[in-house]
Amino acid sequence: MNDRPEVFRGNRIFLACIYWAFVLYVFVPLILMVLMGFKDSNFIGFPIKSWTLDWYTGVFADAEVLSTFGYSVAIAVLSTLISIFVGTWIAVLLEGRKFWGRTLLFGLAVLPALVPGIISAIAFRIYARWLGIEPGMGAIVWAHAVHNVPFVVLVVMARLSTLPKSQIEAARDLGADPLISFIRVTLPYLVPAILGASIFCLLLSFDDFVRSFFLGGYEPTLPVLIFAKLRSGMSPEINAIATVALFLTAAIGIWAERFTRRMNKEN
């Protein structure tokens, strides 16, 4: 990789240790979760006296769980697309420009992220009613999209602040108008930030309970279903559901990554 002087080597080993310790920290609970899905009991925890595959096979046999998963994914993707579009636009407006009310606008842009979950959920519910939005998928997508915009704004602004001005100027000198120079220069530069922000948004939406609960109709999202099931105890069934959901999202993620890579190649 890089053949640097050996002062770097010691550092590197040290940092590698920290990295793998961190990996251990984030993966141990995950492994426990997967493991507990095999426990033959109605409650998770040690000791595990006997094992079973029933919880996992049960998940695949349960149409409700699978459709709930699909519902949650659809909500996450739709709301993320909206958040990215709006958030990027706001970031482009705010970064590197001085105008009256900029700080105010920035404050308003990050507002939804500041409000505690339960408050924001109830505020959305009251506001939705005022706007005449019916509870259901549309309402959840809307609430998630609005709530996630600040994260996009923050991440995209950070990246935008490092965009060399000379690049835009060069494009403008070549006769590109603002829109084309945005699409041809700024947007490609923003791709990593937009991807990062998308991950935030997808995660936040996929994991959100309180907004989904207040704005949802009779079809639960995955966290809503899990919360309801949790009332009768933290059963290995919930672990199995979460594990299956994890593997399915990972599969979708890998497929999407491959797909975009192929698209890029073909172009």
Partner 1 sequence: MSKLIFNRRRFLGTTVATGAALTSPAYLRRASAQTGGEVNIWTYNDFVPTAFREQFEADTGIKVNIRLVDDQGKQFNLLAAEQPNPTVDIMTVAGHRFLQFIESDLLAPLDTGRLKNWDKINPTFSESDWSTINGNKWGAPILSGMEVLSYNTEIVSEEEAQTWDTLFSEQYKGQTAYIIQDMMSIIMLKMGYDGNMVEYLDDPDKAAQIVEEAKAFLIEKKPLVRKYYDGGAEFQQMMVNQDIVLGHSWNGPAAALINDGFPLAMSIPREGSYGFVYTFNIANNAPNSDNAYLFLDALLSSPEIGAEMTKASGFISTYKDVSQHLSELERKSTSFPDEQLANMQFFRAEANELKYSLVDPAVEAIKAA
Partner 2 sequence: MTEDKSGRTFWARLASWGPYHALMRLTTASPRRQFLILAAFPILWVLSQHLGPMLQMLRVSLTDAYPVAPGVEQHFTLDNYGRFFGDSIFWMPFFRTLIFAGVFTFCTLIITYPVAYFLARHVSRKNQMLLLLLLLIPFWVGEIVRTYAIMILLGNTGAVNLALKTLGLIDRPIPFMYTSFSMGVGIVYLTALYMLLPLYSSLEKLPKSMNEAAADLGAGAWTRFRRVSLPLTIEGISSGCTLVFLISTGFYATPVLLGGPSTTVFAETIAGFFHVAGDEWPTGAAFATIMFAAALAITATFQKLMNALRKGDKK
| CA 12 to the chain's CA centroid | 31
Site for partner 1 in 143-202 (CB under 8 A): none
Q: What is the nearest approach in angstroms of partner 2 to the Cβ of residue 252? A: 11
Q: Is 117 one of the binding residues for partner 1 (CB under 8 A)? A: no
Q: Tell me, what DSSP letter sits at residue 101?
A: T
Q: Which is nearer to partner 1, 110 or 122 (CB)?
A: 122
Q: How many residues bind partner 1 (CB under 8 A)?
A: 36
- Two structure tokens written together for 12: 């590197």
Q: Is 122 one of the binding residues for partner 1 (CB under 8 A)? A: yes
- Two structure tokens written together for 7: 């002062």
Q: Is 159 one of the binding residues for partner 2 (CB under 8 A)? A: yes
Q: Is 132 one of the binding residues for partner 2 (CB under 8 A)? A: no
Q: Which is nearer to partner 1, 125 or 159 (CB)?
A: 125
DSSP SS3 for 39: strand
Please report, for residues 6, 20, 154, 189, the alpha-carbon distance to residue 13 in angstroms, rounded to integers and kept in the order given.
11, 11, 33, 32
Q: Is 138 one of the binding residues for partner 1 (CB under 8 A)? A: yes
Q: 144: closest CA among 222, 206, 191, 237?
A: 206
- Two structure tokens written together for 17: 């240790």
Instruction: Decide if 244 contacts 56 (C-beta within 8 A).
Output: yes
Q: Is 129 one of the binding residues for partner 1 (CB under 8 A)? A: yes
String marking each residue 203-242 x if it binds partner 2 according to CB under 8 A: x--xx-xx-----------xx--xx--x---x---xx--x
Q: Is 77 one of the binding residues for partner 2 (CB under 8 A)? A: no
Whole-angstrom distance, CA of residue 203 vs CA of residue 83:
13
Whole-angstrom distance, CA of residue 191 vs CA of residue 188:
5
Residue from 11, 57, 67, 161 touching partner 1 (CB under 8 A): that is 67
Interior angle at CA 18, CA 13 and CA 21, nearest 5? 125
Q: Is 155 one of the binding residues for partner 2 (CB under 8 A)? A: yes
Site for partner 2 in 11-70 (CB under 8 A): 11-12, 15-16, 18-19, 22-23, 25-30, 32-33, 36, 44-47
* CA pseudo-torsion sign 59, 60, 61, 65: positive
- Two structure tokens written together for 162: 């490092």
- Two structure tokens written together for 151: 């994260």
Q: How many residues bind partner 2 (CB under 8 A)?
A: 99
* 23 interface partner picked from partner 1, partner 2, none, CB below 5 to 8 A per type: partner 2
Residue from 43, 60, 85, 259 touching partner 1 (CB under 8 A): that is 43
Binding site residues, partner 1, CB under 8 A: 41-46, 67, 122, 125-126, 129, 133-139, 141, 213-214, 216-220, 224-225, 227-234
